[in-house]
Amino acid sequence: MDKSHKTKRISSQAVRTAYTVVALSQLLLVLASESADITDRLGIALPGCPDSCHGVPIPYPFGIGRSCCLSEDFEVSCNATTNDTYTPYLFGTAAILNISILLGQARINYPVSSQCYNSTTKQVEYNRNYAMLYGSSFSFNDNKNKFMVIGCDTLAFANFSDGQDYNWVGCASRCSSLEALTNGSCSGLGCCQTVIPKGTTVIGIDFDPRYNNSDDVQSFGRCGYAMLMEDDGFMFYTTYITTDDLKGQKMPLVIDWAIGNTTCDVAQNNRSSYVCISNNSVCLNSGPGYLCNCSDGYQGNPYLEDGCQGLINFSLTPFLNSNL
């Protein structure tokens, strides 16, 4: 084969490859646009019901108002706050950050408990928190949450229960000087953390009064804190010790939710109460109850009629092999 013929063939292949790359790019843009259009067209709330509160999507079985949710457990209130914005609340007081239909989870804000020494009155001021989800459709997620304690002389306990058995978990946070503290992960100096039991529906937080109770700790920071919170991405800062920034604050917390207290096999035998009503939906056992997901190749809300819509699904391999 002469050099010019070989060069011509390479040039022809390069042109075909370039055309293929352009065509594929355009095709992928069309597919991405189509997927976005499907997502935009899919309803997430019951017909006639608001689907968001101040930009936070509220998908069914959750709903704003009793007539828009599956049950009282899933009722969301959309209330005005002091700065004239609206915030979605679960249980009346827990601000909702987001809700996942796919995972059966919700992220909410949960208050920080505190133990602060008042050097003037020589008294310790407590702010303890208690939460009870027992008997509801919710439980505290044991994989994404940790019990955390922050302070230089703080011992705190959390009482966890599934409504029947009770477990106490303790965590002590100590430090001899501020110089020993560094910003970063919760390593044990100024901050400690521990796991929580699976299936927890009740939590109560308390402090050991023998700690953080004198002027000896005043130079290190007068407050100790304890909280159940989502630990993903949490960073410890020395200002948590030197300031009162955490006092009265709220931290993100992940709760699991499920439908009812029966398995999929049992629920599917009672069609009048079974809630995976969309075509192309599947039932998944989850905790004491079940969840609904769209089947592979579909997306949307399986709790709504025709809530799961199909996506374009094919392989590009044959196209690539025949054009390169």
Strands 289-294 and 281-286: antiparallel
Annotate the chain with three-state secondary structure: CCHHHHHHHHHHHHHHHHHHHHHHHHHHHHHHHHHHHHHHHCCCCCCCCCCEECCEECCCCCEECHHHCCCHHHEEEEEECCCCCEEEEECCCEEEEEEECCCCEEEEEEECEEEEEECCCCEEEEECCEEECCCCCEEECCCCEEEEEECCEEEEEEEEECCCCEEEEEEEEECCCHHHCCCECCCCECEEEECCCCCCCEEEEEECCCCCCCHHHHHHCCEEEEEEEECCCCCECCHHHHCCCCCCCEEEEEEEECECCCCHHHHHCCCCCCCCCCCCEEEEEECCEEEEEECCCEEECCCCCCCEEECCCCCCHHHHHHHC
Backbone angles phi, psi at 45, to 5 degrees: -115, 165
User: In the prediction, which pLDDT does 320 show?
Assistant: 44
Mean pLDDT split into 10-residue runs, the chain, 324 residues: 51 50 46 45 88 96 97 94 84 95 97 90 90 92 96 92 88 85 88 93 92 66 92 90 91 97 96 96 96 97 96 49 46
User: In the prediction, which pLDDT does 216 show?
Assistant: 61
Listed by start position, the domains of the chain span 3-31, 42-100, 106-257, 259-324
Write down the pTM of the prediction: 0.82
